[in-house]
Copies of this chain bind each other. A is one copy, B any other.
Amino acid sequence: MDGVLADVYEQFLNYEEIETGIRQPIEDLYGKPEEIAFKNMGKYVLSKGFFRNTPVLEGSIPALYRLNKQYELFVVSAAVEFPQSMEEKYYWLCEHFSFISWEQMIFCGLKSAVKGDIMIDDHFKNLDSFDGRTILFTQPHNYGLENKNHTRVFNWQEVLDLLL
């Protein structure tokens, strides 16, 4: 969800700019883990409304709408670390992805117990434990990192080119 449907980088940059008055250039964050890129990330993700008001990642709504017609689709979010985020994420999905039903949502700790044929994710740790085909969605934290086992995409159009 984060980094694939939800544009958490935009939200982190917004929160940091409000707090510090400085907006980091996105290029400065390439290859850095999120918790290194954003010093106060831990505080931001615990803020009420952080996840409920995260911008939607460009192109994700029409892409998911089309994929949902052709595939048995689940939205999986490693959300349990921040339990207050689960309800926010649920309502965020209801608002922006109204064609995704509650039956299709999974809020988990680790994603290692999720099965499926294809996983689209921005984190190696999630893709590495998946049994099926894996698509790495490019985000600043994984930008430029060596990637042997997963198909890298840079945007939702590339996902559609692969899967439709």
From 96 to 132 in chain A, residues with beta carbon under 8 angstroms from any chain B beta carbon are: 101-110, 113-116, 131
Asked if B91 and A87 sit within 8 Å, CB to CB, the answer is no
Partner of A87, one of B83, B113, B114: B83
For this complex, 9 residue pairs linking A to B, each with C-beta atoms less than 8 Å apart, are A80-B90, A80-B103, A81-B102, A86-B107, A106-B107, A106-B108, A113-B115, A113-B116, A115-B131
Give A50 Cβ to nearest chain B Cβ, in Å: 15
Whole-angstrom distance between the alpha carbons of A102 and B84 in the complex?
13
Whole-angstrom distance between the alpha carbons of A87 and B89 in the complex?
12
Whole-angstrom distance between the alpha carbons of A98 and B150 in the complex?
36
Which chain B residues border A44 with CB–CB below 8 Å? none
Partner of A114, one of B90, B101, B105, B114: B114
Residue of chain B at shortest CB distance from A116: B113
Whole-angstrom distance between the alpha carbons of A158 and B103 in the complex?
31
Whole-angstrom distance between the alpha carbons of A127 and B118 in the complex?
23
Which chain B residues border A104 with CB–CB below 8 Å? 109-110
Whole-angstrom distance between the alpha carbons of A90 and B87 in the complex?
12
Asked if B102 and A83 sit within 8 Å, CB to CB, the answer is yes
Asked if B91 and A101 sit within 8 Å, CB to CB, the answer is no
* A74 interfacial contact with B, CB 8 Å: yes
Which chain B residues border A90 with CB–CB below 8 Å? 80, 83, 86
Residue of chain B at shortest CB distance from A77: B107
Asked if A103 and B110 sit within 8 Å, CB to CB, the answer is yes
Residue of chain B at shortest CB distance from A114: B113
- Given known contacts A74-B113, A114-B114, A105 and B87 CB-to-CB distance under 8 angstroms: no
